[in-house]
């Protein structure tokens, strides 16, 4: 418990209101830029960006392997945003950021599809509202 409190103190979570749309577009441009707009539409990425993974249009790790990859990443700064709201966060001093630190609410319409993106765009970690059904989480590492 003491380690968890210390880790949360080290993390610096800064709210960046109204950045959600911008970050979703950034994510799409970074991780789905190999697909045309038509291809993106055909897998319903307008509904959920994580369809890129569930439709197997990108190499990604899934489930426990995705969590392990996320938690073992060297993290300095990253952004956190959602599919269905424009709320977003900048996380500074993120080296100890773990899955349990994420502002994720499994059964909440706005906070159950969450994206964590490396500030340098090298990787992303995604938790879906379908995690209980075995869809996600996902981790994508840029080559």
How many distinct helices (H) and strands (E) make up the chain? Answer: 5, 7
CA dist., res. 34 & res. 39, Å (int): 9
This prediction's pTM: 0.88
Order of all β-strands in the sheet with 88-92: 12-15, 88-92, 77-82, 114-118, 123-127, 138-141, 61-62
Interval 43-82: pLDDT, tens: 999 999 999 999 999 999 999 999 999 999 989 999 999 9
Q: Show Cβ contacts of residue 62 under 8 Å, excluding neighbours closer than 6 positions.
A: 53, 136, 137, 138, 139
CA dist., res. 57 & res. 79, Å (int): 23
Interval 74-113: pLDDT, tens: 899 999 999 999 999 999 989 888 988 887 666 655 567 8
């Amino acid at each position: 418990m003491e380690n968890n409190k210390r880790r949360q103190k080290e993390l610096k979570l800064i709210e960046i209101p109204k950045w959600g749309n911008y970050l979703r577009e950034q994510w799409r441009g970074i991780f789905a830029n190999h697909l045309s707009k038509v291809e993106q539409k055909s897998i319903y990425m307008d509904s959920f960006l994580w369809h890129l993974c569930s439709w197997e249009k990108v190499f990604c790790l899934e489930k426990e392997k995705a969590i392990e990859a996320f938690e073992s990443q060297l993290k300095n700064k990253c952004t956190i945003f959602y599919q269905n709201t424009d709320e977003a966060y900048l996380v500074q001093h993120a080296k100890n950021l773990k899955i349990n630190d994420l502002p994720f609410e499994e059964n909440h319409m706005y906070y159950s599809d969450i994206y964590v993106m490396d500030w340098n765009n090298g990787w992303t970690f995604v938790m879906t509202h379908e995690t209980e059904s075995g869809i996600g989480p996902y981790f994508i590492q840029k080559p």
